[in-house]
């Protein structure tokens, strides 16, 4: 009920801006040389003829960003875009839902709660910022509309918890204006190139796969993994290709359908722990496969490495699901709720919204807002060469680096920080 009341308050505050300029509609402010001399030339003496030097290959100059001077201000404006669905949740200033909110709205609302909690904390610490929230679900307040109406023209930073379809338009706008756009939700680069102002906080699938294979090679030096892959789903086919498996690196088994016991058995050994890699994004496929391994081979042990989406597999939290299978997957974030900051966020969330513990999206909103505001406050609007200063990030030690293509041409900035989760019998540990 607290959240519904907060939604009404948020909706009312957003609507109240209509009495001012149209550009402010649906905003919510949370706070507030010398002359050259010519040298005399001496006659050049001819040198004896020598054999010509071999031609050297031209040196390819690496493309590096040419940033403008950073602007240091007494106050910074930050615009946050998210999928809030306010038009559906609130009608005439009253909440539409009396119980559980729709799943499609919870992620954006939780991200907003994290933003708000961080803004409150920063305000108490003397940071002078203005934060504006935009509900991109409203047709009049999509990124394209905000740009057309020049609403974002005075911003110093854009944070977007938006889906892939909105990424490129915001990234292009950020490059044009020389301001940073942090994409905090989508792992897709949306084809963005030559844009040092686009910051992909969620690493791409390619980055995950390359990191995972490097981790496996280090952790299992003398083992040849069995890779179960499929080609009928484009994203799975891409994940398999990103692993760059050369001949002899792994045994490969095509599994466009669930593999049978007979197909798997020749690759398995009951006397050792079997190493499997499964570049399949579908959580339902993963859960079914893990269950079959336990059912078909109860006396075998398995280390199974999967994809980032496997964090949502509910069976991982069940102690009796598949006890002979250790499941590994990558993730860009890990939030230690036992720390002082973790507890402060949880307490603030409970006070504002009620209910139980906050979701990961609350923590993601909090740390994104906190760290980037810290960079703004310390270095000004162009902080792109200061990403190594990550000690102030509340939870994640982000590793934001310039990403380039095979020809060393600049693409964008990407967070390379990844952790490895290990689940077995409902318990888990995190390897950072």
CATH of the domain at 274: 3.40.50.2300
How many independent structural domains does the chain possess? 2
Within-domain flag for 364? yes
In a domain, 57, yes or no: no
Residue 208, number of CB atoms within 10 A of its CB: 23
What are the phi and psi torsion angles at 365 (to 5°)? Answer: -60, -45
Write down the pLDDT at residue 356: 78
Position 301 in a domain = yes
Q: Indicate whether 325 and 265 sit together in one domain.
A: yes
Q: CA dihedral defined by 218, 284, 190, 83, rounded to 10 degrees?
A: -120
Note the pLDDT of residue 431: 86
290 and 374 assigned to the same domain: no
Q: How far apart are CA 369 and CA 364, in angstroms?
A: 8
Q: Cβ contacts of residue 136 below 8 Å, gap of 6+?
A: 81, 82, 83, 84, 142, 143, 162, 166
CA 281 remoteness from chain centre: 17
Residue 414 lies in a domain: no
* Residue 281 exposure: Cα atoms within 13 Å on the Cβ side: 14
pLDDT at 354: 83
| 174 shares its domain with 303 | no
Q: Tens-of-pLDDT digits for all 432 residues of the chain?
A: 566 556 554 544 443 332 223 333 333 444 444 433 344 444 444 555 555 555 555 554 556 899 999 999 999 999 999 999 999 999 888 888 877 889 999 999 999 999 999 999 999 999 999 999 999 999 989 999 999 999 999 999 999 999 999 999 999 999 999 999 999 999 999 999 999 999 999 999 999 999 999 999 999 998 999 999 999 999 999 999 999 998 889 999 999 999 999 999 999 999 999 999 999 999 999 999 999 999 999 999 999 999 999 999 999 999 889 999 999 999 999 999 999 999 999 999 999 988 778 999 999 999 999 999 999 999 999 999 999 999 999 999 999 999 999 999 999 999 999 999 999 999 999 986
pLDDT of residue 314: 93
Total residues found in the chain within this entry: 432
Q: Are 154 and 264 found together in one domain? A: no
Flag whether 53 is in a domain. Answer: no
Structural domain range at position 97: 2-16+24-29+66-203+338-398
77 located within any domain? yes
Q: Are residues 191 and 137 in the same domain?
A: yes
Q: How many helices (H) and strands (E) would you count in the chain?
A: 11, 16
Whole-prediction pTM value? 0.85
254 with 141, same domain: the answer is no
Tokens at residue 119, please?
Answer: 């803004």
Rounded Cα–Cα distance for residues 250 and 294 (Å) = 22
What pLDDT does 92 receive?
82
- Three-state SS string over 108-125 comes to HHHHHHHHHHHHHHHHHC
> Do 6 and 150 have their domain in common?
yes
Q: Are residues 228 and 162 in the same domain?
A: no
Are 12 and 144 within one domain? Answer: yes
Residue among 111, 138, 132, 80 nearest 362 (CA): 111
Task: Compute the distance between CA of residue 169 and CA of residue 154 in angstroms, rounded to an integer.
Answer: 17
- Structure tokens of 412? 């964008």
pLDDT of res. 99: 75
Q: Do 211 and 295 belong to one domain? A: yes
55 assigned to some structural domain: no
Place of tokens 């398999």: 240
Structural domain includes residue 350:
yes
Q: Are residues 248 and 358 in the same domain?
A: no
298 and 357 co-located in one domain: no
């Amino acid at each position: 009920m607290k959240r519904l009341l907060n939604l009404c308050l948020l909706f009312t505050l957003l609507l109240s801006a209509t009495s001012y300029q149209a550009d402010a509609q649906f905003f919510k402010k949370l706070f507030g040389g010398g002359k050259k001399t010519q040298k005399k030339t001496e006659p050049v003496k001819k040198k004896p003829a020598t054999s010509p030097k071999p031609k050297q290959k031209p040196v390819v100059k690496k493309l590096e960003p040419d940033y403008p001077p950073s602007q240091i201000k007494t106050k910074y404006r930050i615009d946050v875009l998210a999928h809030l669905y306010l038009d559906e949740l609130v009608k005439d200033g009253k909440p539409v839902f009396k119980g559980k909110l729709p799943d499609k709205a919870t992620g954006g609302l939780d991200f907003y709660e994290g933003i708000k909690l961080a803004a409150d904390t920063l305000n108490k610490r003397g940071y002078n910022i203005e934060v504006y929230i935009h509900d991109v679900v409203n047709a009049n307040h999509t990124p394209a509309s905000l740009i057309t109406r020049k609403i974002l023209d005075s911003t110093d930073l854009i944070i977007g918890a938006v889906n892939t379809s909105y990424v490129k338009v915001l990234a292009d706008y950020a490059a044009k204006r020389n301001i940073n756009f942090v994409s905090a939700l989508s792992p897709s680069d949306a084809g963005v190139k030559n844009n040092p102002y686009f910051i992909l906080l969620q690493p791409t699938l390619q980055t995950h796969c390359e990191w995972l294979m490097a981790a496996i090679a280090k952790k299992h030096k003398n083992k040849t993994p069995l890779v179960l892959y499929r080609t009928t789903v484009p994203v799975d086919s891409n994940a398999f290709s990103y692993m760059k498996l050369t001949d002899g690196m792994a045994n490969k088994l095509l599994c466009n359908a669930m593999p049978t016991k007979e197909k798997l058995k020749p690759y398995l050994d009951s006397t050792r722990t079997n190493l499997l890699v499964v570049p399949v994004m579908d959580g339902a496929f993963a859960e079914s496969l893990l269950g079959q391994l336990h059912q078909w081979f109860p006396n075998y042990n398995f280390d199974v490495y999967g994809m980032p989406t496997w964090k949502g597999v509910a069976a991982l939290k069940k102690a009796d699901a598949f006890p002979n299978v250790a499941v590994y997957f990558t993730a860009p974030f890990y939030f230690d709720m036992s720390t002082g900051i973790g507890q402060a966020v949880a307490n603030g969330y409970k006070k504002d919204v009620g209910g139980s513990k906050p979701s990961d999206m609350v923590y993601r909103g909090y740390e994104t807002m906190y760290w980037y505001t810290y960079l703004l406050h310390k270095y000004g609007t162009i902080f792109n060469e200061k990403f190594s200063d990550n000690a102030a990030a509340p939870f994640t030690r982000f590793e934001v680096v310039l990403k380039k293509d095979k020809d060393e041409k600049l693409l964008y900035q990407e967070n390379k920080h990844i952790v490895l989760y290990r689940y077995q019998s409902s318990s888990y540990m995190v390897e950072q």
